[in-house]
Copies of this chain bind each other. A is one copy, B any other.
Amino acid sequence: MGCDVMNPTFGFVTNQLKKHNIRLSNRRLKVLEYLCNNQNHPTVDQIYVNLHKDVPTLSKTTIYNTLHTLVEVGLVRVINIEDNETRYDILTEDHGHFKCDSCGKIFNFNVDLDSFTTYELSGFRIMDRNLYFKGICQRCLLNINKNY
């Protein structure tokens, strides 16, 4: 498993934290570890439910705080696809998302957003680019065809 930006490991991210002068508390490390090991664009609740098994005293507020800190320094990205569920992504590299309406899974795909430009935005400072699609993933499409 590579220790690069496209697949950030725990070690890579903790180093980044040190660079940004963010204290490596146990709780923060737990959240980071989860994000690295489960690159499934989790919600706060998913993180909470999972970590709560190991660390019963971990609070949701801490997860919110940690994520906000990480987003601030650019180590984590916010994904807004559905209006009622904010998701978090340890992958900050340029890529798009596909959310399956059937199984709910979110897939990454490569796309060169950073180089996109248009005369309509000349004079604008673009700081964040997001592309997401919705639809039905291959697996669900196959299942639907099987059942009908």
Contacts and interface: CB of A to CB of B under 8 A. Distances in A.
Contacts of A128: 133-135
A16 interface: no
A118 B123 contact: no
Interface of A is mostly: strand
A101 to B, nearest CB: 7
User: How many residues of A sit at the interface, in one of the four size bands?
Assistant: 20 to 34
A124 B98 contact: yes
A125 interface: yes
A109 to B, nearest CB: 4
A136 B130 contact: no
A34 interface: no
Contacts of A109: 118, 120-121
Interface of A: 78, 80-83, 86, 98, 101, 107, 109-111, 116, 118, 120-138, 141
